[in-house]
Chains A and B, each alone.
Chain A
Amino acid sequence: MDNIYLPKKARIKGIQDETYDTKTFDFEFAETAVRDGFRFLPGQFLEISVLGVGEAPFGLASNPNHPESFRVTIRAVGSVTQALHELKEGDLVGIRGPFGNGFPFDEMKGKNILFVAGGIGLPPLRSLIEPMLDRRSEFKDIQILYGARSPADLVYMGRLKEWENTPEIRFSMSVDVGDPAWTGNVGVVTTLFPKADIITQNAVAFVCGPPIMIRFVILELLGRGFAPENIISTLERYMKCGVGKCGHCAVGHKYICLDGPVFSYKEMMKLSEKVV
């Protein structure tokens, strides 16, 4: 019988600075059997413990086709994330998971895919973008719109450059406030929509970012004719156990940790509480 509350040891393999307050961590499980048995779906999340400080949930940000080493991008905002930022390569953490439902993948084949990401909402979407690029020919158009508060808030700069230059995807980004070096679009991410030639037929949109951004992007998508079931996003709530027992992340009759974090806008509208 598995103990759902007991973490497994994982080692930090690498740390990359993304922005002034955000780092990306590469982990691998310390025990071979755990490492070999670990699989995850795009959009699932982990509970990561900094022992002595606490535990918090984080969306997986790397390609599920390479589960032996997995990646999480973390902004330092509270005690656990601050403590994670102070760790070094080789340090150990506790990890439980993966948990949650994940993004649909196979059902997306043959469709036009639109990603709209805000700030640190890009990392969880990347766990879906990368495996789609692995099987690029099975999907039709793939378009990514990415917005952040400022150029200094953009994550994955190296990868963004590759996306800008590959014919496999259409990529555009925007910042709310530019700086002298910024030559791109300035404005919230929805200001990209009129310029982006968005395909709405046979299309599904994946939206991830801060709640206010999600709200406006959904309005924009609905206005352009996306059906509520074809708008897919993630919900976040204060969460403890990750396995539907502690009760903290319940919204309406759903537990975000069990039934989410991925919901279509159609499902969100059926919850008895307002979520977007």
Chain B
Amino acid sequence: MERVVLHKSNLKPWVDRIHRGFHVFVPSRVRGEIFFLPQAGPLESDLLSGIATLPYLPPKDIVFPQSETLFSFTRDAGDIAFSVPERASRKRLILGIRSCDTVGLHWLDHFYLTNFLDFYYHDRRDNLTLVSIACNQPMKNCFCICCEGGPFLDPEKAAFDIQLVDLDEHYLVECNSEKGKRLVDLDRNLFSLPDPAMVEARDQLEEKSRTLFLQEPTSYMSAAIRRITSNSVPPEVWTELGERCFDDGGCTFVCPCCSCFGVGYSSKGETGCHYRFWDSCDYSGFTREVSGHNPRAEKGERFKRRFFHKLSYQYIKRDGRIGCVGCGRCITACPGEVGMPAVVERLRRG
């Protein structure tokens, strides 16, 4: 992996240079809340530092929009013509994506690009470049350390292009792909070679970061995985957890790994379209059949479904890893206080 050094004063010139070839998304504050948005003003340096901050939503909508047209149709003189949306060809780049969200995209890549390749996801992902920033200091809800979701990225386990490591005055720039190397090639004059002390400092930061997670919110993943895999969680535990669920679907919409969608149909006169939209297995309508029969009519059954998908070994085998990256967003989103760590802790107790 090629490593170079970028003095922070050179970040703006580099990003300006990147703008010529990419539509650049950066973490941005809107009325105090952070979102990944197309860069519209100066970079907010505290959102690009080693001290973790996390946008309210993961950047999954950049590759998997909340709603998108699958195809359109027009009826004319007894015939039908189909058309698909123009293929995404715009080069996009996310600067300042955190490790957990990068691993989340890796999960989505595996899901959407294998076993029937998703045409729309593929085009957006193919045109997307990821410049992540490692977390030297996690936040209180972070538990990526329990999910192989961070705080630093493992090149073997996530498809990132560049990882930046915050070394106070500099970023250590770690290129993990050809795409990443090309970003550095845009202007090699902005970069210098790292001295050994910098590489050592980087490794120490990673070591230290791993000790800074709070004991309290970290998850007892392995016990939960074992219990879910062997289907040995008593039904009453799922019922109890389900009772705390508000059926709002919030956890699924803020989850970097949740990928389910519904399909809607619209038409007006002789034209119309089929479109998809984010859906949630929290909703009772998710499995309700036309007869009215619902195999997951009970909240507890739906709750079990969601965690079985995220944590069972059966799905780990299928999806390549657990369906949680430890970002902690479900903790923030859940009004019933049954985010991932609380559930995992409850499952551990049996």
Residue numbers of A with Cβ under 8 A of B are 1-7, 9, 49, 51-55, 77-78, 81, 90, 92, 94, 211, 236-238, 240-241, 243-248, 250-253, 258, 272-273, 275
> Complex: how many Å from CA A221 to CA B70?
44
B82/A7 in contact, CB under 8 A: yes
On whether A253 and B261 interact (CB within 8 A), knowing A4-B117, A245-B112, A246-B276, the answer reads no
CB neighbours of B272 from chain A (8 A): 51-52
On whether A6 and B279 interact (CB within 8 A), knowing A52-B265, A246-B260, A247-B260, the answer reads no
On whether A78 and B261 interact (CB within 8 A), knowing A3-B84, A51-B75, the answer reads no
A253/B263 in contact, CB under 8 A: no
| Shortest CB distance A238–B (Å) | 5
Chain B facing A: main interface SS: mixed
B70/A5 in contact, CB under 8 A: yes
On whether A272 and B265 interact (CB within 8 A), knowing A5-B274, A55-B274, A253-B314, the answer reads no
| Shortest CB distance A167–B (Å) | 39
> Complex: how many Å from CA A246 to CA B264?
12
Choose among A4, A81, A94, A236 the residue that contacts B119 (Cβ–Cβ < 8 A).
A4
* B197 interface residue (CB < 8 Å to A): no
B80/A92 in contact, CB under 8 A: yes
**What are 9 residue pairs bridging A and B, where the CB atoms are less than 8 Å apart in the complex?**
A5-B276, A7-B82, A53-B265, A237-B289, A238-B287, A247-B261, A248-B260, A252-B314, A272-B314
* B231 interface residue (CB < 8 Å to A): yes
| Shortest CB distance B312–A (Å) | 6
Name the interface residues of B289-339: CB closer than 8 Å to any CB of A: 289-291, 293, 295, 301, 304-305, 308-309, 312, 314-315, 318
Q: How many A-B residue pairs have CB under 8 A?
A: 116
Seed contacts A3-B71, A92-B79, A272-B314; 4 additional CB < 8 Å A-B pairs: A6-B84, A237-B289, A245-B112, A253-B312
* B73 interface residue (CB < 8 Å to A): yes
> Complex: how many Å from CA A272 to CA B235?
12
Choose among A6, A77, A244, A253 the residue that contacts B116 (Cβ–Cβ < 8 A).
A244
B118/A78 in contact, CB under 8 A: no
* B267 interface residue (CB < 8 Å to A): yes
| Shortest CB distance A57–B (Å) | 11
* B262 interface residue (CB < 8 Å to A): yes
| Shortest CB distance A91–B (Å) | 8
Name the interface residues of B94-127: CB closer than 8 Å to any CB of A: 111-112, 115-120, 122
A51/B262 in contact, CB under 8 A: no
> Complex: how many Å from CA A211 to CA B281?
22
CB neighbours of B70 from chain A (8 A): 5-6
